[in-house]
């Protein structure tokens, strides 16, 4: 049996009812509107993509040098 779906005019796609119900419950629980929730999700995705880009760059530049936490503590005068 096919699941119930609604047509989303703004996205020109069918959306399963359970997703709409889950989204409505989520935004209501968190005191958001659907627009606010979408904006927040997009900003988090942009931040995640940026973080991944920075990680990949750091990995590409990694020369394998490692410093122990004891060396760091010693350098900053922290007694262990």
Confidence at residue 80, expressed as pLDDT on a 0 to 100 scale: 79
Number of separate domains in the chain: 1
- Residue 79 domain flag: no
Q: Specify the higher pLDDT residue, 13 or 39.
A: 39
Cβ contacts of residue 33 below 8 Å, gap of 6+? 27
pLDDT in tens, 21-57: 888 888 899 999 888 998 999 999 999 999 999 999 9
- Whole-prediction pTM: 0.58
For 22, the domain range is 5-61
What pLDDT does 13 receive?
60
pLDDT value for 26: 87
With beta carbons less than 8 A apart as the criterion, state whether 20 and 10 touch.
no
- Alpha carbons within 13 angstroms on the beta-carbon side of residue 76 total 7
Residue 58, pLDDT above cutoff 80: yes
3-state secondary structure of 1: coil
d(CA 66, CA 57): 17
């Amino acid at each position: 049996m096919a699941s119930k779906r609604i047509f989303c005019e703004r996205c020109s796609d069918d959306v399963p009812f359970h997703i709409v119900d889950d989204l409505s419950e989520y935004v209501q629980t968190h005191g958001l509107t659907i627009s606010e929730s979408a904006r927040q999700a997009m900003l988090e995705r942009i931040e995640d993509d940026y973080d991944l880009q920075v990680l990949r760059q750091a990995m590409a530049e990694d020369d394998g040098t490692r410093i122990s936490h004891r060396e760091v503590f010693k350098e900053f005068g922290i007694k262990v």
